[in-house]
C-alpha cells in the first residue's frame, strides 16, 4: 500500500556477484624456466545484504530502484595472488522489515535492530588456482577452476511498523485526532471515512523524560480480514504493536458490538493478535453526561480496561497516558 511517501510493500530483483576465475599461470623467470604452477584463487562475488536503519520508516527510497547487482570477484593471478572480493551491495530498510522469496513466499528473515545485517544472496565462490592441483604425477597442471555463479532471485520486502501502542478502530473513530493531541505527529484529519490512508507514527511524551511510540492504523471495517475496505492492507502493522488501544466513538449505536466486530476481524486475520493487551477508549465522550457514561459502562466487557476520553476537550488524556504506560510496563 502506498500513499505519498509511505511505501510498506515492494518487490526487488537481486543478483549477487559471480566468483572470480582461478589462474592457470605457470611460474617463469629468467633462470627458472620451469617453476611450476603458481596461479592464485579467484575472489568471491559480492553479497547482497539487507541492513536495518533506524532513520528509515518507509520503503519509499526503493520505489524507483528495484534492481541490485553485486560486483564479480576478481580473477586470480600469478604468484598465488588471490583476486579481490567483489564489493557487497547493502540495501538499507526500516526496522520491522520482513524479507521473503517472492517465488516461494518463504520468509528469509526479518530486520528488527539498527545495523542488523541479513545476507539474502551470497556471492559466488572464487575458483581455485592451478597450484592446488599439482600432484606427483602432474607437476604442471594447466587448468584452474572457474568461479561459481552468484544467486539471482526476486525478493519481497514487507514492512510491519514497530510501535508500543497501536490504535484500532473504525474509520472516523477519532484515532488521528488522538494521535495529533498526544504526539507531534500531524496526520490528515477530516470528517469523512478513510481520511487516513497510511499508518502514522508519533512519540508520546510521558513523565520524567520517558516516552512510548503510538501508531495510528487506518480504519478497519467489518470484512477487512477478507479484503474489504482498506484496513486489511494494514492489519500486518498491528502484529508488531505491544498493546492495542481500541477506539469506539461515544455516538456509536452499540459500543460493545463495534468492539466485538473489531476484535473478530483481528481474530480472523491472526488469532495470535488476541494475546496482546487491550484497552478500550470511548472517544468523543464530551457528547456524554455523567448519567449516560454510567449507562454505557454497564454494557462494556468486564475484563477489559476502559476509559472515556475526548480529544476535543482533553478529557482524561493524561489518565489515558498513565493507563497505557502502566499496561506497557506491567
pLDDT tens digit at each of 330 positions of the chain: 444 456 778 999 999 999 999 999 998 777 776 778 999 999 999 999 999 998 887 888 898 899 999 999 999 998 999 999 999 999 999 888 999 999 999 999 999 899 999 999 999 999 999 999 998 888 889 899 999 999 999 999 988 777 789 888 888 788 888 988 888 655 444 444 444 456 777 878 888 878 888 888 776 655 544 454 444 456 777 777 889 999 999 989 899 999 998 888 888 888 888 888 999 999 999 988 989 999 999 999 888 999 999 999 999 999 999 999 999 887
DSSP lists the bridge partners of residue 315 as 310
Query: Is residue 210 located within the same domain as residue 227?
Result: yes
Domain count along the chain? 2
Query: Is residue 254 located within the same domain as residue 118?
Result: no
DSSP letter (8 states) at residue 89: E
CA 87 to chain centre: 25
Query: Is residue 214 located within the same domain as residue 86?
Result: no
Domain CATH code at residue 287: 3.40.50.300
Query: Is residue 23 located within the same domain as residue 124?
Result: yes
CA-only gyration radius of the chain, Å:
29
Residue 139 C-alpha cell reads as: 607437476
Per DSSP, the residues of 178-202 read: HHHHHSS------SSTT---S-EEE
Please state the pTM of the whole predicted model: 0.67
Query: Is residue 135 located within the same domain as residue 210?
Result: no
Grid cell 472517544 in the structure block, residue: 283
Residue 224 burial (C-beta neighbours within 10 Å; 0-12, 13-18, 19+): buried
Query: Is residue 186 located within the same domain as residue 288?
Result: yes
- Residue at a domain's end among 159, 188, 206: 159
Query: Is residue 182 located within the same domain as residue 152?
Result: no
Query: Is residue 169 located within the same domain as residue 126?
Result: no
- Residue at a domain's end among 124, 159, 194: 159
Query: Is residue 169 located within the same domain as residue 282?
Result: yes
Domain CATH code at residue 44: 2.70.210.12
Query: Is residue 289 located within the same domain as residue 269?
Result: yes
Residue in 303, 317, 175, 312 with CA at minimum distance from that of residue 237: 175
Residue 277 C-alpha cell reads as: 493487551
- Residue at a domain's end among 159, 178, 209: 159
Query: Is residue 24 located within the same domain as residue 137?
Result: yes
Residue 185, domain extent:
163-328
Query: Is residue 2 located within the same domain as residue 140?
Result: yes
Amino acid at each position: 500500500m502506498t500513499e505519498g511517501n509511505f511505501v510498506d510493500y515492494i518487490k526487488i530483483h537481486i543478483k549477487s556477484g559471480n566468483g572470480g576465475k582461478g589462474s592457470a599461470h605457470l611460474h617463469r623467470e629468467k633462470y627458472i624456466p620451469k617453476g611450476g604452477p603458481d596461479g592464485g584463487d579467484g575472489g568471491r562475488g559480492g553479497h547482497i545484504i539487507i541492513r536495518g536503519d533506524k532513520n528509515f520508516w518507509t520503503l519509499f527510497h526503493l520505489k524507483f530502484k528495484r534492481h541490485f547487482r553485486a560486483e564479480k570477484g576478481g580473477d586470480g593471478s600469478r604468484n598465488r595472488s588471490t583476486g579481490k572480493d567483489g564489493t557487497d551491495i547493502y540495501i538499507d530498510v526500516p526496522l520491522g522489515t520482513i524479507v521473503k522469496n517472492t517465488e516461494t513466499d518463504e520468509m528469509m528473515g526479518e530486520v528488527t535492530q539498527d545495523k542488523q545485517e541479513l545476507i539474502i544472496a551470497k556471492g559466488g565462490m572464487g575458483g581455485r588456482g592451478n597450484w592446488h592441483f599439482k600432484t606427483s604425477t602432474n607437476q604442471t597442471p594447466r587448468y584452474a577452476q572457474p568461479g561459481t555463479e552468484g544467486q539471482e532471485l526476486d525478493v519481497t520486502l514487507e514492512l510491519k511498523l514497530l510501535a508500543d501502542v497501536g490504535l484500532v478502530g473504525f474509520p472516523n473513530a477519532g484515532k488521528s485526532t488522538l494521535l495529533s493531541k498526544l504526539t507531534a505527529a500531524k496526520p490528515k484529519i477530516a470528517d469523512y471515512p478513510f481520511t487516513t490512508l497510511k499508518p502514522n507514527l508519533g512519540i508520546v511524551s510521558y513523565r520524567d523524560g520517558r516516552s512510548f511510540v503510538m501508531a495510528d492504523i487506518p480504519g478497519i471495517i467489518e470484512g477487512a480480514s477478507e479484503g474489504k475496505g482498506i484496513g486489511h492492507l494494514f492489519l500486518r502493522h498491528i502484529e508488531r504493536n505491544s498493546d492495542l488501544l481500541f477506539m469506539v466513538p461515544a455516538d456509536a449505536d452499540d459500543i460493545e458490538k463495534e468492539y466485538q466486530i473489531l476484535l473478530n476481524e483481528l481474530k480472523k486475520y491472526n488469532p495470535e493478535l488476541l494475546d496482546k493487551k487491550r484497552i478500550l477508549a470511548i472517544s468523543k465522550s464530551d457528547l456524554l453526561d455523567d448519567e449516560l457514561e454510567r449507562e454505557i459502562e454497564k454494557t462494556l466487557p468486564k475484563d477489559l480496561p476502559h476509559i472515556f476520553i475526548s480529544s476535543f476537550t482533553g478529557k482524561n488524556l493524561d489518565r489515558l497516558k498513565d493507563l497505557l504506560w502502566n499496561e506497557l510496563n506491567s
